[in-house]
Amino acid sequence: MKVVFLGPPGVGKGTQAARFSERHHLPHIATGDLLRKALAEKTEVGLKARSFIEAGHLVPDDVIIQLMIDRLEAPDAASGYILDGFPRTIAQAKALTRVLEEKGVQLDRVVYFSLDDAILKERIVGRRSCPSCHTIYHVIYRRPPHEGLCACGNELIQRKDDTEETVAKRLIVYREETEPLIAYYKTQGLLTQIDAGGTLDEVAESLERTFQN
């Protein structure tokens, strides 16, 4: 199964992708996590991406496309995956189609998670993440087992791009660059929309239902 999780920042793609990945034994490939790892390790990609991420802009297509071409070559991606945060532009979507065509395969589904902007902002500003195991918490909606600490024992952080100011910019960028993908994948008959406004369990149940149909 090859699935894309599409939607605005903070909608809950990463949270649901982690659960879906565990349940269906699929690798969860998140461009945001790959970029933050590259940033922490100060690789060439990380150095190129830093200023874009911190300003709430998209990292240039050529950097992201190459990163994903390399990642999709890894053995664990041979028979399926969840793509979380990629593609995010029409150019990225076309590049993905080319890569899949070269392998003689295609996407099974694109799940579009939708939610009001006001709730998105609340979710992002309250997010706390584990830099080690990538578990995502929320100060109200998904509290860590101990204040400030992940279940794996590491200290939780607030992402640098999770400030109110950067979130506003990320939402503008999302509308301009990523939203056109909704029509793009709808035309191809691949799109399923999910209301991401429920609780974590409710959204997970809606997601499972779409794959039973």
Active site residue: 36, 88, 123, 128, which one? 88
Closest distance of CB 44 from ligand AP5, Å: 16
Q: 48, 109, 142, 159: which is the annotated catalytic residue?
A: 159
3-state per-residue secondary structure call for 1-43: CEEEEECCCCCCHHHHHHHHHHHHCCCEEEHHHHHHHHHHCCC
If residue 134 lies in a helix (H) or strand (E), which one and from where to where?
none
C-beta of 104 vs 137, nearer to ligand AP5: 137
Based on the residue annotation, tell me whether 13 is a catalytic residue of this protein: yes
The residue number whose beta carbon is nearest to ligand AP5 equals 32
Task: Give the Cα separation of 161 and 11 in Å (integer).
Answer: 15
Told to judge if 143 belongs to the known catalytic residues of this protein, a careful annotator would answer no
Would you say 166 or 188 has its CB closer to ligand AP5? Answer: 166
Instruction: Name the minimum Å distance from CB 32 to ligand AP5.
Output: 2
- Separation between Cα atoms, residue 39 and residue 63, nearest integer Å: 13
Instruction: Work out how close the CB of 4 gets to ligand AP5 at its nearest, in angstroms, rounded to a whole number.
Output: 11
CA–CA separation, 173 and 191 (whole Å): 21
Residues that bind ligand AP5 (CB under 6 A): 7, 9-15, 31-32, 35, 52-53, 56-59, 64, 85-86, 88, 92, 123-124, 126-127, 136-138, 141-142, 161, 170, 198-200, 203
Catalytic pick among 2, 13, 123, 128:
13
Which C-beta is closer to ligand AP5: that of 102 or that of 201? 201
Rounded to the nearest whole angstrom, what is the least distance from the CB of residue 138 to ligand AP5 in the complex?
3
Compute the CA torsion angle 57, 92, 47, 50 (nearest 10 deg): 20
Closest CA to 87 of 205, 188, 211: 188
Task: Give yes or no: 159 in active site.
Answer: yes
> Burial, 47: exposed, middle or buried (Cβ in 10 Å; 0-12, 13-18, 19+)?
exposed
DSSP 156: P
Closest CB to ligand AP5 among residues 77, 104: 77
Which amino acids are annotated catalytic?
13, 88, 127, 159, 170
